Structures are given as C-alpha cells and as structure tokens.
Amino acid sequence: MRPFFELLKKIIQTGVGKTRFLMAAVGLGIAMLLILIAIQAHSNFSQLLYSSKNQNETADFLVINKTITNAMMGQSSKSIFTPEEIATIKKQPFVQSFGLVTSSQYKVVVQAPGDLHFATDMFFEAVPDSFLDVKAQDWKWNEGDRTIPIILPNDFLNLYNFGFSLSQDLPQISQETVKALPLQVNISNNQLSDQYMGHIVGFSDRISSFLVPASFMAWANEKYGMTTAAGTSRVIIKTPDPSNPALVKFLEDNGYTTNQDKLKFSKTRLIVQTIVSVVGFFGLILLFFALLVFSMFIQLVIASCKWEIQLLVILGTAPKQLQRYLLKQFVPLYIVIGILSLLLVTGLQYWAAGELARHDMQVSTWPGIPVFAGIALVLGLVYIVNLLTVRKYVNNI
C-alpha cells in the first residue's frame, strides 16, 4: 500500500486550508484537556470523599426533625412525622438505615443520691440499638429489672462541668464518676409512681438526648403512658455521605432540619461539582465545534480534489483505499493530540497530588481509568465522525 499512498499524497493536496485545520486541532486539544480535567477532578473529589485513605469516615448518623416555625408553636402534632412522611424518608437512596426516636409518655424525675441535693425533671428517648455509638455490656433491660441503663449526651456533661458547676461552685465530675453514681429515677403518671435505679452506662456524641433501651421504653410507655401514642417527631438515619447535595435538598424541600454542622461540606461540594460540570460542558462544546471544523475540512479537501479523486476511482482506486488514505492523513494527528493531553493531565495530576498531600489529602498520583476511558471515548468519537464524513463525501464523488 505504501508506494500507492505516496503517489496519492502528490495527487490529493491536503494542504488547502491547513491553518484552519491546525486551529481546529488546537481546539480539539483544549477540548480534550478540559474534558479530561473535569473527569479527573471528579474522580479526585470522590477519592477525597470516599477513599479509606482519607480517614474522615463519612458515614454518619443524622437525627432529623421538623423545623419548628412560629406558625407551628403550640401545636405539637404538627411536628410529628406522618406514616407517609416516614415511608418517604425510608425510600430515599441516601438513607442506609432508618430508626424512629421514641419519646417517653410519662413523667421522669431524677435525683442524685446522698447529700448532692440534686433533682431534676427529665425525659427519656429510645432509638434502635444499631444507631448507638456507645457499646456497653450493661445496655440491656429485661422486664422486672429495677436498674435502668441510661446514655447521656456528651454535651450534657460538658455543659455541667464547664458551665453550670463553675458558676454554682459545684465540683466538676469525670465520666467515670458519673458512671459510678447510682441515680434515683422516679417514673410516674397521674395514678402510678415507681422508683428505679438509674445507671449511666455511656456518653453519646451522636444523639443529643437521654437514652434508655428500647425494650424499657416500650414497656414503660405501656405501663405509665398517659396519652395514646404521641407519634414520632424525631427520626434517625444512617447515611453514607451527609454532604450529599440530594440529602440536603430533600431536608430543605420538606422543611426538615438536622445538625447543620454535618451538612456544611455539602455546599462546598455543590460548588466544586458545578465548576467541574461547567468545565466539562465547555469541553464538550469545544469538542463539538472541533468536530464540525474537521468535517468541513475533510469536505473541503475532497471537494478541491474532486477531479483527481474521480479519475483515481475511474482508474480503479477503491473507495475503501481512498478512505483509508484520507483517514491516515488526519488520524495520527488526533492520536498525537490525545497523547499530549494525557501527558498534560498526568503532569497536572502529579502536581495536584503533591499539593494536596501537603494538606493531608491523599489522591492518586496518576490519572485514573476514567481519564483513559475519556480519551478513548473522545478519540473514538473523532474517528467515527471523520470516518463517516470521509465515507459520505468519497462515495458521493
């Protein structure tokens, strides 16, 4: 085939409009670069969020309740989740597991033992055990037990130790001491009143409430409950990624609220995602125009050599041979552009990985598989468009 193509080179002048072609090639290069950067930035971001190398474990527990507005005040039923709402929450893709927070429907008074002279009205809540971050051996209750295991919020002890006790000249208490304190728990409704022993078994960072085992809660609500079941006004979900914009949007749309601190990353992420998408979008637009110019260039070459190509075909040159020759004039350039963009992206990624590593963020030093897939896809697209254009115009001649 070689000597024939050398003769074809003298017959079919591809030099016409070469500047335009080279500019389109530069455009293709930039388009490819933008697309690859968008792909790589996306995978870097996913690595930062989900990779085990970046220790911030992202799976998180969120306690969700409805936002109390002025209009709702005094109507506690409006803050209660209906069964439909609960079903909707359960169905969301970002909800890994779901639990109800059950509140007590009886009065609770807790007294400190001995001469501490401390007594307070209180409430209990219960969540399914799987949502607890405290794993304590004593966290169980069977009917007939007089001792109730209790989990306190960590914040509560901090409030006491650093807020209350200092101002009231009371002693600060360590976690161990609190666990050792036998508390007297009075549970009552309007008719019944019973005394139990409370035993603090742990402190939770996850759920800001006074927790008792679900088994006790069910039993006590049955026995001392003053109202018919009040329904659930707080639920707890486990989500793999609290910064998921879909989750934040879901909460906003339904007027739900949760610990905002856990969601704050979401905004950053949304911005980054938007920027990455915009970059990728511009890449695609540019790619589209580059393809357009390439097609027009091929058309121009074929049109300007129409007489020569006709004679070649008359002399017996197969359209297939012409197609192969024409593609051979363009395709190597595309491959070079692909390799150049890959090298550039590799350099960028290497540099970015180094910069991020200085801030303890680990991303891979080399471009990932999606980048290679992206190159293959773009080059494949360019090739197919070229092939179709060449085939169309050669066959029309």
Partner 1 sequence: MQIQLSQLMPIPLQDKLRQRSSDIWNQEVTFQPGKFVKIKAPSGTGKTTLIHYLYHIRYDYTGKVQVNGQPWQAYNKNEVAAMRQRDISIVFQDLRLFEQLSARENISLKRVMEPKPYYPAEKIDEMAARLNVSHVLEQSGKTLSYGERQRIAIIRALMQPFRWLLMDEPFSHLDEDNTQRAAALIADECKARNAGFILTDLDNDQHFPYDVHYHL
- Residue 344 interacts with partner 1 (CB under 8 A): yes or no: no
Q: Footprint of partner 1 on residues 44-103 (CB under 8 A)? A: none
Rank residues 98 and 325 by Cβ distance to partner 1 and give the closer one. Answer: 325
Rank residues 11 and 335 by Cβ distance to partner 1 and give the closer one. Answer: 11
SS3 state at 1: coil
- Residue 11 interacts with partner 1 (CB under 8 A): yes or no: yes
Rank residues 285 and 311 by Cβ distance to partner 1 and give the closer one. Answer: 311
- Please state, in angstroms and rounded to a whole number, the distance separating the CA atoms of residues 353 and 47: 11
**Token couple for 340:** 């150049």
Q: Taking the complex as a whole, how short is the minimal distance between the CB of residue 329 and partner 1, in angstroms?
A: 17
Q: Which of 54, 92, 321, 364 binds partner 1 (CB under 8 A)?
A: 321
Which range touches partner 1 (CB under 8 A), out of 76-84, 181-189, 243-251, 316-324?
316-324
User: What is the torsion angle, in degrees rounded to the nearest 10, for the CA atoms of residue 335, residue 337, residue 341 and residue 344?
Assistant: 110
Over 8-43, what HEC string results? Answer: HHHHCCCCCCHHHHHHHHHHHHHHHHHHHHHHHHHH
- Please state, in angstroms and rounded to a whole number, the distance separating the CA atoms of residues 299 and 288: 17
Element (H, E) at 111: strand 107-111
Which residues are paired to 99 by β-bridges? Answer: 236
- Residue 7 interacts with partner 1 (CB under 8 A): yes or no: yes
Q: Which of 169, 314, 358, 369 binds partner 1 (CB under 8 A)?
A: 314
Q: Which of 10, 91, 117, 358 binds partner 1 (CB under 8 A)?
A: 10
Residues, the chain: 397
- Please state, in angstroms and rounded to a whole number, the distance separating the CA atoms of residues 357 and 214: 45
Which range touches partner 1 (CB under 8 A), out of 78-86, 132-140, 318-326, 364-372?
318-326
Rank residues 54 and 304 by Cβ distance to partner 1 and give the closer one. Answer: 304
The one-letter code for the residue type at 236 is I
Rank residues 344 and 397 by Cβ distance to partner 1 and give the closer one. Answer: 397
371 alpha-carbon distance from chain centroid: 20
Q: Taking the complex as a whole, how short is the minimal distance between the CB of residue 18 and partner 1, in angstroms?
A: 18
Rank residues 179 and 391 by Cβ distance to partner 1 and give the closer one. Answer: 391
First-to-last alpha carbon distance for the chain, in angstroms, is: 22
Q: Which residues in this chain contact partner 1 in the complex, by CB under 8 A?
A: 1, 3-4, 7, 10-11, 308, 311, 313-321, 395
